[in-house]
Each structure stands twice: as C-alpha cells, then as structure tokens.
Chains A and B, each alone.
Chain A
Amino acid sequence: MSLVFDIALVAGLIALALHVVVTRDGRGAILGFIAFGLLLGIGWARLASVDVALTEAAIGGGLTGMLLLRAHAHLGREIAPEAMARGEPRRWLAPAIASGLVALALGAVVLAFPRPAPSLAPQAVAALETTGLGNPVTAVLLAYRAIDTLLEKIVLILALVGVWSLSRDAAWGGASQLRPAVIPEPLVFLARVLPPFGVLIAVYQVWVGADLPGGTFQAGTILAAMALLVMLAGLRPAPPTQARALRAMLAGGPALFVLVGFLGVAVAQGFLSYPEAIAKPLIVGIEAALTLSIAGTLALLVAGPPDKAPAS
C-alpha cells in the first residue's frame, strides 16, 4: 500500500513541476511552486527525513514563495506586461535539454550508489550520549560538524550585507517598504491572529529540536514569516537597518557561537568542542541565539534592500 502511495506522490510531484515550468503566467507559476514546496515536504516525510521535511515546508512553501512573489511584483512595476509575456519561440529548447541532461545524470548517479550505502549514522547515534542530545541531526549540526554550521550562519549574514548594498545611497541605513498599495481587511486580521501561533510553534521547534526532529533553521524561518506578515499588513513598519538592536540581534547568534567555540579551547579539547557536563545547555543556548539571528536575517533578506531614507 505504501508503494502505491509513494508512486502517487511522485506522480503528483512530477506533474506539478511540469505545470510550474509550462505555465506562462508568472504569478500562477509561483503559486504552483509554493504548492510544489508543500508537496515536496510530504515527500521528505515519506523518506523518513523529518528534519528535511520541516525545512522544505518552511523554506520552499513559505519564504521562497514570498521572495518570488515580491520579485514578480517588483518586475511588474518596472517592465511592461507585454515585454514580460513576449519570448522567442525556441527559447525553451536549450533549458529543456540542459535540465533533461542534469536529471538523467542525477538518475544515473543515484542508481550507481553502492549497496549498502556508506554511512556514518551508527557512529553519530553511538556518540549521542556525550552531547546530551536526542536528535542525531542536531548533534551533527551543532556538535560534530559545528564549524560547518557556524560558517553557514556567517554566509547568511554576508548575503544580507550583499542585499543591503543594493540600496541607493540616500536609503542606506533606512527601512524596506513592504506594505502593498492596498491592504485588504482580512490580511490585517490574519496578521493579528497568526503570529501568536507562529511564535509558539517556533519556540516549540527550537526546544524539541534537541531531542526530536526540529531545530533552529525551521524555527527561524517561521519567526521570519511571522515578522514579514506583520510588516505586510502594515501593523508595524520594517525596522530601519541602522538600528543598533537589530544589528546586535543579527550578529548575536554567530558571535555567541564563536565565543563558545573559543571557550572550548580553554576548557575542552579545542575550538568548538563543548565540555561534556554542560554540552546540552550550551547547545540549546546557541540554538536560541541562532534562531533569532536566522529569523532576522531571513526576514530582512526577503524584505529586500532598504528603499526609505532613515529618519535621522
């Protein structure tokens, strides 16, 4: 029975992907893409990768969709609709061939995997006790391969600096304009009702991430989505990017991570190694700070470069 389910799921995914590619209307394609992200979340859940499923639902179904919708609205303002719709008749051929080749190559690689696949999973689970955690994915992210996670968070901040640097000189340090021209009444209602649930779910995700699927990135994405919702409905303006509190929040997570890392040199075996007795409290503390940093970074990445001059 589960085989039939998987076949139906994969068929749905392929059909939806084709729909996204074939659709002419940009917004329709973006909506199809959001739906694809949600369906792909079910796919990852079927593969027993619940952590990936959570991330896919949050990023693919949530923030990426909004990023694309915002880009589309922006393009619609700058370019006439006729210019967007026009295209050379054979333009799809080269991308179609290239994508087909990549898909074939990926398929060949997946079929060529050795069986049983080489895996470090048993070692990862065996060493879980020393970290005090129950979720091997969190242990890999924040203990075994903490340096990768640290660099990844710093890259996120660099990306934000890149987006900010696209602002005009006059708007540097100002805030992004997010509110749409017309704010429908139901949106204001949604922006009042949904964020309390979102914040609760995000806190739950961070807390449960130590022992069960969940974690900082998912929680940060949910918080970012809730912050964007409030800004979209015009309940609160986007924060000016020169605000000290905002910048402290953005840098706080990675800074605490680096600090704890160097602490490891003094009291444990080296950089980014935790003393075994307090490994779990340290990891949960880093996760909490990282969640806020990720939430701020993602929300501001989607909000785009500041385009309103600072008030001062």
Chain B
Amino acid sequence: MPESLTLVALLVLLASAAGLAIVLRSAVAIEKLMAVQLLGTGGAATLLLLGAATAQPALADVALLLVLLSAFSCAAFTLGEGEDPGDAAKPDEPA
C-alpha cells in the first residue's frame, strides 16, 4: 500500500512539474503566477499522499500551509500591478 501511494504521489509531482514547465515559459506574468497556484494544489496533494504512505500525519499540516500561502502569494502579486508602465502595456489576459 505505501508503495502504491508513493507511486501516485510521484505521478502527481510529475504532472505538476510538467504543468510548471509549460506555465513558467509564458511571457505573461499572471500566467507565471499560476505556477505558484499549481504547486500549491499539486504540492498539497503530493504531501497528503506521502503523509499517508509514510504514516506521518503531520505532513497534512504542511499541505495546509502550502494551500494557504499559495493563495496569499496571489494577493502579494497585486503589488506593483498597474503601476509599472512596462507591465501595463503588456496584455495581462489572453484575449
């Protein structure tokens, strides 16, 4: 059972990594922010699976923090948004 849980955790990690590689290559800053959100959810899933595989319930706390702080970094991202003329000129959302 632990083996298969670790295998699933590995798959989730690889899927997140593949998504990350694509998202981080984007030229639009908001799309890069999605990398952080992706790691928030994918990382939390990985940690929960690992916690079950290694019988470490405390890993659920780390997963909780990952989700909370990736949402927070979304808010931090608004700093400087709409001030920098270089950024404002770029299309922030794909039309």
Contacts and interface: CB of A to CB of B under 8 A. Distances in A.
Given A191-B75, A212-B58, A233-B75, A72 B80 contact: yes
Contacts of A45: 47, 50, 56, 59, 62
Interface of B, helix, strand, loop or mixed by DSSP = helix
Interface of A: 1-2, 4-5, 8-9, 12, 15-16, 19, 25, 27-28, 31-32, 34-35, 38-39, 41-42, 45-46, 48, 50, 53-54, 57-58, 61-62, 65-66, 69-70, 72-74, 76-77, 81, 180-184, 187, 190-191, 194, 197-198, 201, 205, 208, 212-214, 218, 222, 225-226, 228-229, 232-233
Contact of B43 (A42, A181, A182, A191): A42
A42 B50 CA distance: 10
A61 B70 contact: yes
A154 B53 CA distance: 40
B93 to A, nearest CB: 12
Most buried by B among A34, A225, A232: A34
Nearest to A9: B13
17 contacts: A8-B14, A12-B17, A27-B29, A35-B20, A38-B70, A42-B13, A45-B47, A45-B56, A53-B59, A62-B69, A62-B72, A65-B76, A70-B80, A72-B80, A180-B80, A180-B83, A232-B76
Contacts of B24: 19, 28, 32, 35
Contacts of A12: 13, 17, 20
Contacts of A15: 17, 21
A57 B68 CA distance: 10
Contacts of B77: 31, 69
B79 A2 contact: no
Given A16-B20, A35-B20, A1 B69 contact: no
Nearest to B26: A28
A118 to B, nearest CB: 25
B7 interface: yes
A243 to B, nearest CB: 24
Interface in B1-28: 3, 6-7, 9-10, 13-14, 17, 20-21, 24, 27
A61 B73 contact: yes
A23 to B, nearest CB: 8
